[in-house]
Chain A
Amino acid sequence: DAEITQSPRHKITETGRQVTLACHQTWNHNNMFWYRQDLGHGLRLIHYSYGVQDTNKGEVSDGYSVSRSNTEDLPLTLESAASSQTSVYFCASSAATSTGELFFGEGSRLTVL
Protein backbone atom coordinates (compact mmCIF):
# COMPACT_ATOMS: atom_id res chain seq x y z
CA ASP A 1 0.00 0.00 0.00
CA ALA A 2 1.14 3.53 -0.73
CA GLU A 3 2.10 5.55 2.29
CA ILE A 4 3.90 8.59 3.62
CA THR A 5 6.52 8.10 6.31
CA GLN A 6 8.37 10.57 8.52
CA SER A 7 11.56 10.13 10.47
CA PRO A 8 12.57 10.49 13.15
CA ARG A 9 9.27 10.28 15.00
CA HIS A 10 10.76 11.89 18.09
CA LYS A 11 13.87 14.02 18.41
CA ILE A 12 15.43 16.10 21.14
CA THR A 13 18.11 18.56 20.14
CA GLU A 14 19.90 21.62 21.47
CA THR A 15 19.57 25.23 20.46
CA GLY A 16 21.76 26.10 17.51
CA ARG A 17 22.08 22.60 16.07
CA GLN A 18 21.04 21.73 12.54
CA VAL A 19 18.17 19.25 12.32
CA THR A 20 16.69 17.47 9.31
CA LEU A 21 13.30 15.79 9.34
CA ALA A 22 12.74 13.29 6.56
CA CYS A 23 9.54 12.74 4.62
CA HIS A 24 9.11 9.95 2.07
CA GLN A 25 5.95 9.16 0.13
CA THR A 26 5.17 6.27 -2.18
CA TRP A 27 1.95 7.76 -3.59
CA ASN A 28 3.90 9.26 -6.51
CA HIS A 29 2.28 12.59 -5.64
CA ASN A 30 3.66 15.77 -7.18
CA ASN A 31 2.60 17.99 -4.25
CA MET A 32 4.27 17.79 -0.86
CA PHE A 33 3.87 19.99 2.20
CA TRP A 34 5.32 20.56 5.64
CA TYR A 35 3.09 21.84 8.46
CA ARG A 36 3.76 22.45 12.11
CA GLN A 37 1.12 22.00 14.77
CA ASP A 38 1.15 23.94 18.01
CA LEU A 39 -1.42 24.33 20.76
CA GLY A 40 -3.59 27.33 20.03
CA HIS A 41 -2.40 27.66 16.43
CA GLY A 42 -3.60 24.60 14.59
CA LEU A 43 -1.70 23.47 11.52
CA ARG A 44 0.45 26.12 9.86
CA LEU A 45 2.18 25.73 6.52
CA ILE A 46 5.99 25.92 6.52
CA HIS A 47 7.05 25.03 2.98
CA TYR A 48 5.58 23.25 0.02
CA SER A 49 6.60 21.81 -3.33
CA TYR A 50 4.65 21.11 -6.50
CA GLY A 51 7.31 19.01 -8.15
CA VAL A 52 11.01 18.22 -8.45
CA GLN A 53 13.19 21.31 -8.02
CA ASP A 54 10.14 23.39 -7.02
CA THR A 55 9.95 24.78 -3.46
CA ASN A 56 7.85 27.58 -1.99
CA LYS A 57 7.60 29.37 1.34
CA GLY A 58 4.52 29.04 3.47
CA GLU A 59 3.12 31.10 6.31
CA VAL A 60 5.87 30.28 8.86
CA SER A 61 8.99 29.58 6.78
CA ASP A 62 11.60 31.59 8.71
CA GLY A 63 14.34 29.30 10.03
CA TYR A 64 13.37 26.37 7.79
CA SER A 65 14.41 25.16 4.35
CA VAL A 66 13.42 22.31 2.04
CA SER A 67 14.77 20.75 -1.12
CA ARG A 68 13.08 18.50 -3.67
CA SER A 69 15.50 16.39 -5.69
CA ASN A 70 13.04 13.60 -6.50
CA THR A 71 9.30 12.96 -6.38
CA GLU A 72 9.32 10.83 -3.22
CA ASP A 73 11.20 12.98 -0.70
CA LEU A 74 10.90 16.43 0.85
CA PRO A 75 13.31 16.81 3.78
CA LEU A 76 12.79 19.74 6.13
CA THR A 77 15.93 21.35 7.58
CA LEU A 78 16.18 23.62 10.58
CA GLU A 79 19.48 25.39 9.99
CA SER A 80 19.95 26.52 13.60
CA ALA A 81 17.27 25.13 15.88
CA ALA A 82 15.52 27.50 18.28
CA SER A 83 13.27 26.75 21.25
CA SER A 84 10.38 28.36 19.33
CA GLN A 85 10.68 25.51 16.83
CA THR A 86 9.65 22.93 19.43
CA SER A 87 6.57 21.50 17.78
CA VAL A 88 4.97 18.55 16.05
CA TYR A 89 5.78 18.52 12.34
CA PHE A 90 3.54 16.89 9.76
CA CYS A 91 4.44 16.08 6.19
CA ALA A 92 1.62 15.69 3.69
CA SER A 93 1.18 15.01 -0.01
CA SER A 94 -1.49 15.28 -2.66
CA ALA A 95 -1.91 14.45 -6.32
CA ALA A 96 -1.69 17.26 -8.84
CA THR A 97 -5.07 16.26 -10.19
CA SER A 98 -6.77 16.20 -6.79
CA THR A 99 -9.37 18.63 -5.53
CA GLY A 100 -7.64 19.16 -2.23
CA GLU A 101 -7.31 16.04 -0.11
CA LEU A 102 -3.95 15.80 1.65
CA PHE A 103 -2.51 12.54 2.95
CA PHE A 104 -0.56 13.04 6.16
CA GLY A 105 2.41 11.31 7.72
CA GLU A 106 2.34 10.29 11.38
CA GLY A 107 4.20 13.37 12.55
CA SER A 108 7.62 14.13 14.04
CA ARG A 109 7.78 15.56 17.53
CA LEU A 110 10.79 17.88 17.88
CA THR A 111 11.96 19.31 21.18
CA VAL A 112 14.63 22.01 21.16
CA LEU A 113 16.29 22.53 24.54
Chain B
Amino acid sequence: EDKVVQSPLSLVVHEGDTVTLNCSYEVTNFRSLLWYKQEKKAPTFLFMLTSSGIEKKSGRLSSILDKKELFSILNITATQTGDSAIYLCALRAGSYQLTFGKGTKLSVIP
Protein backbone atom coordinates (compact mmCIF):
# COMPACT_ATOMS: atom_id res chain seq x y z
CA GLU B 1 0.00 0.00 0.00
CA ASP B 2 1.33 3.42 -0.99
CA LYS B 3 1.98 5.73 1.92
CA VAL B 4 2.83 9.42 2.38
CA VAL B 5 4.00 10.85 5.70
CA GLN B 6 4.46 14.56 6.22
CA SER B 7 6.27 16.27 9.04
CA PRO B 8 5.85 18.32 11.03
CA LEU B 9 2.05 18.31 11.15
CA SER B 10 2.05 21.93 12.25
CA LEU B 11 4.57 24.70 12.44
CA VAL B 12 4.54 28.29 13.67
CA VAL B 13 7.22 30.70 12.47
CA HIS B 14 7.84 34.43 12.35
CA GLU B 15 7.84 36.44 9.18
CA GLY B 16 11.22 36.29 7.51
CA ASP B 17 12.07 32.81 8.77
CA THR B 18 13.00 29.97 6.43
CA VAL B 19 11.04 26.74 6.77
CA THR B 20 11.53 23.21 5.52
CA LEU B 21 8.59 20.85 5.18
CA ASN B 22 9.21 17.15 4.88
CA CYS B 23 7.48 14.39 2.93
CA SER B 24 8.54 10.76 3.03
CA TYR B 25 6.85 8.00 1.09
CA GLU B 26 6.57 4.31 0.39
CA VAL B 27 5.52 3.23 -3.07
CA THR B 28 5.70 0.23 -5.36
CA ASN B 29 5.56 2.05 -8.70
CA PHE B 30 6.61 5.70 -8.46
CA ARG B 31 5.40 8.10 -11.13
CA SER B 32 5.59 11.55 -9.54
CA LEU B 33 5.42 13.49 -6.27
CA LEU B 34 3.38 16.68 -6.07
CA TRP B 35 3.11 19.57 -3.63
CA TYR B 36 -0.07 21.58 -3.15
CA LYS B 37 -0.90 24.65 -1.09
CA GLN B 38 -4.32 24.85 0.55
CA GLU B 39 -5.54 28.08 2.03
CA LYS B 40 -9.22 28.33 2.83
CA LYS B 41 -10.57 26.43 -0.11
CA ALA B 42 -9.28 24.20 -2.89
CA PRO B 43 -5.70 22.93 -2.97
CA THR B 44 -3.61 24.71 -5.59
CA PHE B 45 -0.72 23.09 -7.38
CA LEU B 46 2.84 24.10 -6.53
CA PHE B 47 5.31 21.57 -7.91
CA MET B 48 5.57 18.19 -9.54
CA LEU B 49 8.77 16.20 -9.11
CA THR B 50 9.75 13.12 -11.05
CA SER B 51 13.55 13.03 -10.97
CA SER B 52 15.97 12.97 -8.05
CA GLY B 53 18.18 15.94 -7.33
CA ILE B 54 16.55 18.42 -9.68
CA GLU B 55 15.30 21.43 -7.76
CA LYS B 56 12.03 23.01 -8.77
CA LYS B 57 11.78 26.68 -7.87
CA SER B 58 9.07 29.32 -7.89
CA GLY B 59 9.90 32.59 -6.21
CA ARG B 60 10.63 31.91 -2.55
CA LEU B 61 9.46 28.30 -2.77
CA SER B 62 11.60 25.40 -3.88
CA SER B 63 11.38 21.64 -3.73
CA ILE B 64 13.58 18.66 -4.35
CA LEU B 65 13.13 14.91 -4.50
CA ASP B 66 15.38 12.07 -3.34
CA LYS B 67 14.18 8.82 -4.90
CA LYS B 68 16.86 6.76 -3.21
CA GLU B 69 15.92 7.83 0.32
CA LEU B 70 12.22 8.24 -0.64
CA PHE B 71 11.59 11.78 0.50
CA SER B 72 10.99 15.28 -0.70
CA ILE B 73 11.34 18.67 0.95
CA LEU B 74 9.58 21.94 0.35
CA ASN B 75 11.52 25.05 1.34
CA ILE B 76 10.07 28.48 1.84
CA THR B 77 12.51 31.34 2.37
CA ALA B 78 11.71 34.78 3.83
CA THR B 79 8.25 33.64 4.88
CA GLN B 80 5.30 36.03 4.72
CA THR B 81 1.91 35.90 6.39
CA GLY B 82 0.46 34.98 3.01
CA ASP B 83 2.38 31.72 3.18
CA SER B 84 0.13 30.57 6.04
CA ALA B 85 -1.66 27.50 4.71
CA ILE B 86 -1.77 23.74 4.76
CA TYR B 87 0.90 22.24 2.51
CA LEU B 88 0.00 18.88 1.04
CA CYS B 89 2.34 16.30 -0.38
CA ALA B 90 0.86 13.75 -2.80
CA LEU B 91 2.15 10.68 -4.54
CA ARG B 92 1.21 9.36 -7.95
CA ALA B 93 1.98 5.66 -8.37
CA GLY B 94 1.02 3.64 -11.40
CA SER B 95 -2.30 5.25 -12.27
CA TYR B 96 -3.86 8.70 -12.15
CA GLN B 97 -5.16 9.02 -8.62
CA LEU B 98 -3.05 10.73 -5.95
CA THR B 99 -2.38 9.53 -2.41
CA PHE B 100 -2.08 12.47 -0.05
CA GLY B 101 -0.27 12.96 3.22
CA LYS B 102 -2.07 14.56 6.16
CA GLY B 103 -0.52 17.92 5.42
CA THR B 104 1.60 20.41 7.30
CA LYS B 105 -0.21 23.42 8.71
CA LEU B 106 2.10 26.42 8.51
CA SER B 107 1.31 29.57 10.46
CA VAL B 108 3.43 32.66 9.83
CA ILE B 109 3.07 35.36 12.46
CA PRO B 110 4.10 38.99 11.96
B101 nearest CB neighbor, chain A only: A42
Binds B, one of A62-70, A78-86, A96-104: A96-104
A106 and B41 in contact, given A42-B88, A42-B102, A45-B97 (Cβ under 8 angstroms): yes
Q: Kindly list chain B residues whose C-beta atoms are within 8 Å of the C-beta of A106.
A: 41-42
Most A CB atoms within 10 A — which of B31, B42, B45, B97? Answer: B97
A4 nearest CB neighbor, chain B only: B42
A residues 24-64 with Cβ under 8 Å of B?
Answer: 31, 33, 35, 40-45, 48, 50, 58
- How many A residues, CB 8 Å from partner? 25
Contact B42 A105 (CB under 8 A): yes
CB distance from B8 to the nearest CB of A (A): 14
- How many B residues, CB 8 Å from partner? 21
A94 at the interface (CB under 8 A from B): yes
Contact A100 B32 (CB under 8 A): yes
Contact B102 A101 (CB under 8 A): no
Q: Kindly list chain B residues whose C-beta atoms are within 8 Å of the C-beta of A105.
A: 42
Q: Kindly list chain A residues whose C-beta atoms are within 8 Å of the C-beta of B44.
A: 104
Mark A residues whose CB is within 8 Å of B.
31, 33, 35, 40-45, 48, 50, 58, 90, 94, 96, 98-107
Mark B residues whose CB is within 8 Å of A.
31-32, 34, 41-45, 48, 50, 88, 90, 92, 96-103
Leading 5 A-B pairs by shortest Cβ distance? A100-B92, A104-B42, A42-B102, A43-B100, A100-B32
